[in-house]
Chains A and B, each alone.
Chain A
Amino acid sequence: GAGVSQSPSNKVTEKGKDVELRCDPISGHTALYWYRQSLGQGLEFLIYFQGNSAPDKSGLPSDRFSAERTGGSVSTLTIQRTQQEDSAVYLCASSPQGWGLGNTIYFGEGSWLTVV
């Protein structure tokens, strides 16, 4: 597609349930990122995939969070046993390469997660 595509755009789930958020990056982009944005806050880095390299998971807040990227393209962020503090917008982004100055990162419109 023309841009980074995320689904679902909105998700309401009950506390304790698992959720999966999907990201389809811009075609040809080798780098893919997940960020989290709580209401009125800045963006918090979660995880970063670059090509076939091991992902940088340094931003994942707990072991309830995991992500995978299949075939170097689509990525799924999974949150197990959701808690109310997980409520946020989850933004996926991609870039042509994973390094290099001027490597612009393009964002999707986000998945709004509400845990009730």
Chain B
Amino acid sequence: AQKITQTQPGMFVQEKEAVTLDCTYDTSDQSYGLFWYKQPSSGEMIFLIYQGSYDEQNATEGRYSLNFQKARKSANLVISASQLGDSAMYFCAMTPRGTGKLIFGQGTTLQVKP
């Protein structure tokens, strides 16, 4: 069965510094997609970044990058130059091949300190 593990329930980072949020996954599929979503206190789920299992280069979207290490089955999110507005819960998720379902991790709460 597929599973997403986020081992950091909470993280703190100083404003303007970079932070890495950990995500490991478990799947026997060769083809899958990995996502990160941000959930601020308002509750909406905001798509941040996507990485395909066959993509050789790490995905980047502005200040977000995904450190994809396929052999280790990890898909860590790196946020550069943290901003106060980055304070939120962050979810790692996976789409197994052939399904539309997202399987989510338990999330990491990030707090950015001024």
Contact = CB atoms under 8 A, between A and B. Distances in A.
Do A and B pair up? The answer is yes
Interface of A: 31, 33, 35, 41-43, 45, 48, 50, 56, 89, 91, 93, 95, 97-99, 101-110, 112
B33 A101 contact: yes
Contacts of B46: 107
B87 to A, nearest CB: 16
9 contacts: A43-B93, A48-B101, A56-B99, A91-B45, A97-B100, A99-B100, A101-B33, A103-B33, A107-B44
A112 B93 CA distance: 22
B91 interface: yes
Contacts, number: 69
Interface stretch (B62-70, B71-79, B104-112): B104-112
A107 B105 CA distance: 16
A42 B91 contact: yes
- Residue from A43, A106, A108 having most chain B Cβ neighbours under 10 A: A43
B95 A103 contact: yes
